[in-house]
Amino acid sequence: MDVISVIRTKRDKGELSPEQIDWVIDAYTRGVVADEQMSALAMAILLNGMNRDEIARWTAAMIASGERMDFSSLSRPTADKHSTGGVGDKITLPLAPLVAACGAAVPQLSGRGLGHTGGTLDKLESIPGWRALLSNEEMLHVLDTTGAVICAAGDGLAPADKKLYALRDVTGTVEAIPLIASSIMSKKIAEGTGSLVLDVKVGTGAFMKNIEDARELASTMVQLGTDSGVKTVALLTDMSTPLGLTAGNALEVRESVEVLAGGGPADVVELTIALAREMLTAAGIKDADPAKALADGSAMDVWRRMIQAQGGDPDATLPVAREQHVVTAPSSGVLTRLDAYDIGIAAWRLGAGRARKEDPVQAGAGIELHAKPGDTVTAGQPLLTLHTDTPEKFDYALKSLDAAWDIAPEGTSFTANPIVLDRIA
């Protein structure tokens, strides 16, 4: 087997054989295939696609590159959730303890932010003492004792994906649907969860800008999970406007705690409960009410135990940025658009995100939203508050907000997009 023939097959719109796929994934993981060669293959896949058999084999080969976890010793059924990434998407934080409070075990392997999308681990690391890196034994212990764990994937889980993910990010091939689907599902299947709910974001702040591409991605991932024996369902959810009223790390943790305390923004609560119901149904738990678990404090109890079990202090004061800048409404009327991508870029430029995986983030950086589409605003009232430790970043962040919103004349009717756009099972 040689890598040139594999590249040529996909370049010429051919179908890769199972043997070609197994060999190239293994050889790339071992360093026999060079980055520039895998880059060429990834670009050929982006341009020419893969069929269902190819994607399934590619995913299986990435799973086979590392270990598989086993949660069969737990007394509860397992359910996990994966979001394709967005702006203000703090849903994992209240969702994992909520589902655990309703009787499932939630082994949530999460990632860090890159570019305009936020990362769950970055958010939680704003809590003093909290640890993202756990051994497999520690992860199982936290899961067994609290019902939920949110942590980083270990190096032994799908190492081929870890290497290929970094390569795709710097070669313009992130958007390839076969590679997105196999990347997500190889980790989730290797993780060993019994059921999986996918939150596939659609809109300006998502990787999938239109619903057709999002539906294709969701269908591909549902097929991969089902074929591997994992009960899988996907919700397509709106990401044209940021979720909630914050985009940033400590800012989003604070908002998540508000949700767990029975408050918080309506859109965050709605999506959290919708995903919780899907996860509980997939896990075979029929009689639990996630709305009640939010209201009665049981989800908050699990949150506190989960944070403490990973070294964090749930009562600690969260970091606050040293500098703030208020952006006011330029006119009076109805706010009809607040662009998720523009808000995400501004938060990233303020220090809430990173351009490279090794870059640090500021715990307190980000953006507060004082109005959402559909709200009536008055000229001069606060629209956004920008937070950062480095005030020289304000001008750079403000440039990304030049066309971030629309304000229509007072009395203009407005209908918001539904949070959940479609369901694929």
Residues involved in catalysis:
82, 161, 168, 183, 187
CB 7 within 8 A of CB 44: yes
Coil, helix or strand at residue 377: strand
Edge-first strand listing for the sheet containing 420-424: 80-83, 195-202, 231-238, 420-424
Q: Considering only CA atoms, which of 143, 140, 76 is closest in space to residue 285?
A: 76
CB 142 within 8 A of CB 307: no
Indicate left, alpha or beta for 393 from its phi (over 0: left) and psi (-120 to 50: alpha). alpha
Residues 316 and 143: their CA atoms lie apart, in Å, by 23
User: 212-237 burial string, b = 16+ CB within 10 Å, else e?
Assistant: ebbbebbbbbbbbbebbebbbbbbbb
Q: Provide the 10 A C-beta neighbour count for residue 55.
A: 24
Amino acid at the residue 36: E
Q: What share of the chain is helix, strand, coil (3-state, %, to 5)?
A: 45, 15, 40
Tokens of residue 125, six digits: 């690391």
What does residue 368 show for φ and ψ, rounded to 5 degrees? -100, 140
Amino acid at the residue 13: K
CB 238 within 8 A of CB 421: yes
Tokens of residue 250, six digits: 């400590």
Residues 182 and 283: their CA atoms lie apart, in Å, by 23
Q: Give residues with Cβ within 8 angstroms of 229, minimum separation 6.
A: none
| CB-neighbour burial class of residue 300 (10 A; exposed 0-12, middle 13-18, buried 19+) | buried
Amino acid at the residue 289: D
Q: Considering only CA atoms, which of 289, 266, 274, 288 is closest in space to residue 235?
A: 274
Catalogue the E-assigned strands of 129-273: 148-152, 195-202, 231-238, 246-248
Q: What is the DSSP secondary structure assignment for residue 349, as one 8-state letter?
A: I
